[in-house]
């Protein structure tokens, strides 16, 4: 596209050729960006269907939630009621929060001790993760403490799932036999704030993909 069209090219012709090439590349980039924005919720819905089938008559060993947007923890605690034997891992928890505060925010008037005893849950909180890659690393580190784990369900917002799946694929041990499934909270994209989140997420995906391209797993 940037190669010469003529053997003898004037400065004006060269400038015009470069300008046209930039316009074409900009247009193609815009189309690609837009298509990915459209695809993210579709991908998340597909993953929901896969998870529904996988856990139709069985329970995930671990349910991990990547925090960062509203509704994710509440959704996870409700999912925990459906699968009481699953261990719950909440990564990226705000430093001033604890399980008691999180339960109160969900409207549960019950002590932590009673909740864990009555519901039969095992809940682990991670305060160190600051972004999605660190959420993934924290989850993998947690799984190393549970050698019998086979099936893990990861929960987040629908726009977030595609990037999470890409990250987990890049971070996980290639010899690991753990199966990762994904379930998401659907957002209403009739609201401009959710559209903005979707657009921002595509940018984060490209940024994360570039980082992972040069990331050395052995030195992590």
The string of DSSP codes covering 75-111 is: HHHHHHHHSTTSEEEEES--TT--HHHHHHHTT--S-
How many residues comprise the chain? 220
From the number of C-beta atoms within 10 Å of its C-beta (0-12, 13-18, 19+), residue 56 rates as exposed
The answer to whether residue 3 sits within a structural domain is no
pLDDT at 110: 59
pLDDT at 94: 82
Q: How many domains is the chain partitioned into structurally?
A: 1
The answer to whether residue 6 sits within a structural domain is no
Q: Which domain holds residue 160?
A: 11-219
The answer to whether residue 49 sits within a structural domain is yes
The answer to whether residue 68 sits within a structural domain is yes
The residues facing 151 across adjacent strands are 179
The answer to whether residue 1 sits within a structural domain is no
pLDDT at 121: 66
Q: Which residue, 124, 201, 217, is CA-closest to 169?
A: 217
pLDDT at 111: 60
The answer to whether residue 125 sits within a structural domain is yes
**Nearest-angstrom CA–CA distance, 178 and 141:** 13
The answer to whether residue 89 sits within a structural domain is yes
**Nearest-angstrom CA–CA distance, 58 and 55:** 5
In the chain (220 residues long), the average pLDDT of successive 10-residue segments reads 56 78 87 95 98 95 94 88 91 80 65 57 87 96 93 97 96 90 96 96 94 69
pLDDT at 179: 97
What's the order of all strands across the beta sheet hosting 87-91? 122-126, 87-91, 62-66, 151-157, 179-185
**Nearest-angstrom CA–CA distance, 83 and 192:** 34
The answer to whether residue 119 sits within a structural domain is yes
**Nearest-angstrom CA–CA distance, 215 and 146:** 26
Q: Which residue, 78, 77, 161, 162, is CA-closest to 125?
A: 77
């Amino acid at each position: 596209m940037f190669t010469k069209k003529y053997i003898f090219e004037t400065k004006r012709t060269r400038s015009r050729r470069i300008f046209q090439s930039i316009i074409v590349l900009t247009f193609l980039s815009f189309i690609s960006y837009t298509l990915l924005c459209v695809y993210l919720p579709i991908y998340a819905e597909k993953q929901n269907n896969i998870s529904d089938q996988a856990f139709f008559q069985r329970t995930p060993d671990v349910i991990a939630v990547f925090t960062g947007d509203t509704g994710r923890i509440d959704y996870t605690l409700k999912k925990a009621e459906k699968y009481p034997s699953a261990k719950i891992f909440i990564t990226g928890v705000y430093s001033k929060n604890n399980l008691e505060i999180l339960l109160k925010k969900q409207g549960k008037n019950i002590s932590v001790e009673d909740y864990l005893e009555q519901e039969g849950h095992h809940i682990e909180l991670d305060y160190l993760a600051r972004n999605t890659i660190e959420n993934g690393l924290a989850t993998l580190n947690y799984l190393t403490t549970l050698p019998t784990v086979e099936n893990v369900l990861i929960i987040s917002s629908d726009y977030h799932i595609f990037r999470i799946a890409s990250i987990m694929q890049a971070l996980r041990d290639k010899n690991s036999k753990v199966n990762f499934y994904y379930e998401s909270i659907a957002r209403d994209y009739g609201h401009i704030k959710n559209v903005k989140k979707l657009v921002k997420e595509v940018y984060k995906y490209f940024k994360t993909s570039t980082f992972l391209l040069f990331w050395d797993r052995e030195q992590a």
